[in-house]
Amino acid sequence: MTVYFHEEDLPADVLAPGPVAVDTETMGLVTHRDRLCLLQISDGRGDEHLVRFAKGSKFDAPNLKAVLADPSRIKLYHFARFDLAAIHFYLGVMAAPVFCTKIASKMTRTYTDRHGLKNLVSELLGEDLSKQQQSSDWGAPVLSDAQREYAASDVRYLHRLRDILIPRLEREGRLELAQACYEFLPARALLDIAGWIDKDIFSHE
């Protein structure tokens, strides 16, 4: 298992075919204000790739964009709504089709209100995931080893979680409904970018 660090783009042909796990690190939670600093990606075969974007980046990353925009590759996320918005706003591509482990967790683990990635990794995989670097300066000119390891761990487990959550969705008869949610997520991300992040456009009010 190796964590590879790249500046501004992903090298060509470093990922095997098939689904890729994706995550982002930004300066905060407001997409328009808080720039994309890092994108993590893994093909699930043991290595993670971190692509860092410097302050003032033009986000001209053709290799990375080609992978993210590839309609034949499923992208695995934990809370895809946020990552899709950040990727679309800064990189200009919609990184779909989607599988979101947070949505799958909420639709299957209805016996708990704990749906964070750390909770899923602990219960379903029996491993401990450190969140110590979650709130750190991702725009720093140099990322620490601890930051790099934290970022890599956010995509390290998503393939294995998906393999567990899909049978649970099937068992509970919710797989098709979950898929419908995933298919709506790109539109949900675009609504967030357009200003409806805190508004439920489906409500009567």
pLDDT at 94 over 70: yes
pLDDT of residue 1: 83
Residue 20 CA, chain-centre distance (Å), reads: 10
Region 153-159: mean pLDDT is 98
pLDDT digit string, tens, across residues 48-70: 999 999 999 999 999 999 999 99
pLDDT-based confidence at residue 156 (cuts at 50, 70, 90): very high
The reply to whether 204 falls in a domain is: no
Confirm whether 205 is domain-assigned: no
User: What pLDDT shows up at residue 49?
Assistant: 98
Per-residue pLDDT for 146 more than 70? yes
The predicted model gives 152-179 an average pLDDT of 98
Angle 198-186-93 from CA coordinates, rounded to 5°: 120
pLDDT tens-place string over residues 13-44 = 999 999 999 999 999 999 999 999 999 999 99
C-alpha distances (whole Å) from 106 to each of 14, 32, 81, 131, 165 are: 33, 28, 14, 20, 10
Dihedrals φ, ψ of 30, to 5°? -105, 105
- Inter-residue contact 182 to 97 (CB < 8 Å): yes
36-42 and 48-52: which strand pairing? antiparallel
- Flag whether 202 is in a domain: no
Closest among 85, 84, 14 to 47, alpha carbons compared: 14
* pLDDT for residue 133 is more than 80: no
- Count structural domains, the chain: 1
On average, the pLDDT of the chain sits at 96
Determine, yes or no, domain membership for 201. no
Q: In the prediction, which pLDDT does 56 show? A: 97
CATH of the domain at 177: 3.30.420.10
pLDDT band at 135 (very low <50, low <70, confident <90, very high): confident
pLDDT value at 134 more than 80: no
Average pLDDT over residues 98-119: 98
Question: Phi, psi at residue 16, to the nearest 5°?
Answer: -75, 160
pLDDT (mean) for 156-183: 98
Instruction: Give the separation between CA 143 and CA 137, rounded to whole angstroms.
Output: 8
Residues 105-124: what's their mean pLDDT?
Answer: 98
pLDDT for the residue 178: 98
Residue 95 is part of which domain span?
3-196
